[in-house]
Structure 1
Amino acid sequence: MKELGTAANHSLLWFTAASVLALRKGPTRRAAWRGLAAIAGASALANAVGKPLFPRRRPAVELIPEARRYRNPPRSSSFPSGHAASAAAFATAVAMESPRTARVVAPLAAAVAISRVHTGVHWPSDVVGGALLGAAVAGATRRWWPVPQEVYDGPGVEVDLPRLGDGAGLVLLINPGSGLEGEDASDQVAQAWPEATVVYPKEGVDLIDQFAAVVDGLGTAVQAVGVAGGDGTVAAVAAVAAVRKLPLLVIPGGTLNHFARDIRVDGPTAATMAAEHGTGIEVDLGSIEIDGRIERWFLNTASLGGYPDLVGYRERWEQRWGKWPAAAAALVRVLRESRPLTVRIDGRVRQVWLLFVGNGVYTPRGFAPMIRGGLHHGTLDVRYVRADVRFSRLRFFLAAVTGALHHSRTYVQRECAELVVQVAGEPVKAATDGEVGPAGRRFRFAAHCGTLRVYRPRLSRVQP
């Protein structure tokens, strides 16, 4: 018990556990980051707020058997237990993201809490108070960082698609440069669909034009198109699929894979299963018309102003710092460096720092959209930060950090099916799915309900 309590000093035990959990992508990695965020909040409240406000003497050392005593027992206030707060915060956070992992973490957290009473450094009520505090802080992280399974509102319209079998009729684009390590999916594709037509990006050639030329050249022999790569590559192939009314097969191969995650295709196995059974869903696509003539499709997001820079900084830093610290740092940098745009939105002239348009409704409701509940509502998620309010950058940042954006005059968020934005002054460039597009002054964003059919396994199907 003494050794366990010592291992949990300064949350070193939980930092080690988080490091192990973060080795694997998916729920365990999210659990690690959420756990660390919860520990930071719980530890700060317990030690910097709780102990000074509720000073309490610790149990008398001489009443504890010598074998159970610490040689140098702590001398700070006994209430609440910081060890119990951190343990409960980490275990609760892990349970929110990965209940299976919590079966291992929760008993360890309980043992740490019990050890504080067993070794005589805390009263039982100290441990209970600390545990309640830690669990509450972990639960409060939902306000800024929603739990994916709580956001998801169903798959949308399920459809039957062509069964691909050995890959005959499938044209598949592989981007070997996607992802952190640039893993090439060629071997997986050759094994799963040996008869598929495989295309690789050519340097200096527009990806959409290149892929569209291959698809058009094969004519009616094409039954479906596919892509193995990141979000930018997926968006390019999706544009071809939408125009030619072809179903899309997505094999996640990028760093973050936002679209694949949102349609619940979490890896090659899910993609192979859906292609084998011919199951899929209809999802929405967003479009942006620039100066009445240039139309671009987007799967995830479109933006004007500093938002493309914000996303770029966040994605660059989040692998090292985690999403929320990276998002906060990116927000500070963009607000410091960007220049406001004068725009007309809904007939009103505004000055804005940045404008975000999502294909589908994102959560959380603050300005760090991460997760979509569904892609079948024909809705755009519009968010912008006003620059025509006094101390707008400071007010916005403080509201974002405290989770009070819905009360801030600097932040506007709404949902609609169509949005027209007129920019005053020099033309500006729009970004779609992380790719910077042509410049213009008039931008028309629209949601197209059920435009794209995507392969995805039935959630109720029992996996072999």
Structure 2
Amino acid sequence: MGQDGRGGGVAARTLARVALLAAAAVLVVLVVAVGKAGLVVVGAGLVGLVVCAVGGWWFLAYRGVRRLFGAAVAVAAPVAVVVLFTVAGLWLTALVLGVCWAATLACARAALRRSDPRRTKRARRAVAARRPRRAVLIMNPKSGGGKVGRFGLVERAEARGARVVLLDPAAPADVAGLARAAVADGADLLGVAGGDGTQALVAAVAAEHDLPFLVVPAGTRNHFALDLGLDRADPARSLDALTDGEEVRVDLGSVAGRAFVNTVSFGVYADVVQRPEYRDAKAGTALNVMPDLLVGAGGRRLDARVGEEVLSAQQALLVSNNPYASPDVLGGTGRRPRLDTGELGVLGIRVESGAQAADLAVRGSQSTGLTVLTAGRVEVTSGATSGEGARDVPGEGGRDIPVAVDGEALRMPTPVVCVLRPRALRVLLPRDRAPAVVPAPPVDWRRLLRLAFGRTPTPS
């Protein structure tokens, strides 16, 4: 029986009860079995986490001796905690507590995921697609370190009846212009083998002409393909959609009239990717400029209106085409459960000291340094640096600010407006593909208790 049926409900309730039992085991180990030792384990662990976060902040925000000291502190803190547990004979207690707490979180998230029909049902309803007769695929041979050649994508696409437009690695290309020329020549499908930035340009043309769009994940990360359930390890599998495919409709983002399929970044990340040296030395460039951006006079602060909410003096703002399941997107591991909710996801970050970094490390999304919102419209109304007193005036043409659109470095005049075009893009997918992974939801203890004791929790 499926997860949305009775069997799924029983499994969710069982998992919820196991999660509560594991949580109770944590309390037993803390209070009864080991007494003060359990409190030492928890206290030492929290102190280690806080000190590590502060050291990490110093490493990012400063140069010279303070950076070296921060790196040493960030490394030494967890090492010191492990040494303490070993010397004091608390390693077994720490291990038991860690296992019980990990089991609690794993079972709780699994229970909540199974019990929420919005997460367990297939969000994007696929319909049978007719085979395209004049498919045109644009391929970037440099993308992803040469995946087009490595996987023989040109030959495989042509064997399935598609016409391939191969970009010249030595010359800049008007990708959107090539797509429009293909439409004028009678194309009934547009596709791209490349990164997310190139995907977005061609997707905009496909949506404009209501043509199906084929995603071939031949870029470096391809987050859009990941959230569509495509196999990024074998981009050639996407070409099967040309002969045996089905179609889904997803939302398409727009920032100042330019399409995006994943994210638009303002602030720290957008400033970093503007640097000419970033492409050849990403980590080195980021470390070199971070002190200026985080605490120096060059740090940009952003004001934005997110729906009816107002965010002030943010260091970074990330707007996504549909919300991510958790703020893990900051580390590049986030997932979007759906691409058709009609809402933008918004993450705002403001961390200006080691104490705020520690608060973020301990409290996560509950920290005052991290704001998580959804909205239909986002307007970035200011891009002043911390050394400037002037603010852009909402509704009037402002100064240009750096913007990273699906990883592409651009500049746009403020106010910069992000919106969604609901279900504007028709995506052709191979019928034989892995089911999309549903990300684990955050733990809501009240919902978990209602589920464990026989009541169906209301979706949050």
Match of 2:321 among 355, 359, 362: 359
Alignment TM-score, normalising by the size of structure 1: 0.59
Match of 1:427 among 400, 409, 420: 400
1:196 lines up with 2:162 in the alignment:
yes
Q: Hey, what does 2:385 align to over in structure 1?
A: none
1:154 lines up with 2:111 in the alignment:
no
Please give the residue correspondences for 1:63-462 in structure 2 after superposition, counting only pairs within 5 Å: 77=89, 79-80=90-91, 126=92, 129=93, 132-133=96-97, 135=99, 154-164=122-132, 168-181=133-146, 183-184=148-149, 187-194=152-159, 195-202=161-168, 203-216=171-184, 218-219=185-186, 222-266=187-231, 267-289=234-256, 295-309=257-271, 334-336=293-295, 339-345=299-305, 346=308, 348=310, 350-365=312-327, 367-368=330-331, 370-386=334-350, 392-408=352-368, 410-423=369-382, 424-425=391-392, 426-458=399-431
Unaligned runs of 5+ in 1: 1-39, 56-76, 81-125, 290-294
Alignment TM-score, normalising by the size of structure 2: 0.60
Bigger relative contact order (CA 8 A; separation at least 6):
2
Q: Hey, what does 1:83 align to over in structure 2?
A: none
Q: Hey, what does 1:47 align to over in structure 2?
A: 82
Write the deviation string for residues 300-321 of structure 1: whole angstroms up to 9, x where unpaired: 00122223356799x9899999
Q: Aligned-pair distance for 1:437?
A: 3.0
CA RMSD of aligned residues (A): 4.2
Describe the shift of the 1:457–1:442 C-alpha distance in structure 2 as closer, same or farther (beyond 3 A).
same
SS of the counterpart of 1:245?
coil
Q: Aligned-pair distance for 1:348?
A: 4.6
Contact 1:396 1:405 in 2 (8 A): no
Q: Aligned-pair distance for 1:175?
A: 0.5
Describe the shift of the 1:152–1:233 C-alpha distance in structure 2 as closer, same or farther (beyond 3 A).
farther
Contact 2:403 2:409 in 1 (8 A): yes
Residue identity in the other structure for 1:455: L
Residue identity in the other structure for 1:361: P
Describe the shift of the 1:310–1:50 C-alpha distance in structure 2 as closer, same or farther (beyond 3 A).
farther
Describe the shift of the 1:141–1:238 C-alpha distance in structure 2 as closer, same or farther (beyond 3 A).
farther
Write the deviation string for residues 402-434 of structure 1: whole angstroms up to 9, x where unpaired: 3434231x3322101112222234321322111
Q: Aligned-pair distance for 1:344?
A: 4.7
Describe the shift of the 1:452–1:441 C-alpha distance in structure 2 as closer, same or farther (beyond 3 A).
same
CA distance in 2, matches of 1:395, 1:206: 47
CA distance in 2, matches of 1:439, 1:312: 12
Q: Aligned-pair distance for 1:336?
A: 4.7
Mean alpha-carbon deviation: is it higher for 239-248 or for 187-196?
A: 187-196
Contact 1:335 1:393 in 2 (8 A): no
SS of the counterpart of 1:176?
coil
SS of the counterpart of 2:202?
helix
Larger radius of gyration: 1
Write the deviation string for residues 349-369 of structure 1: whole angstroms up to 9, x where unpaired: 722212110111113236446
Please give the residue correspondences for 1:18-33 in structure 2 after superposition, counting only pairs within 5 Å: none
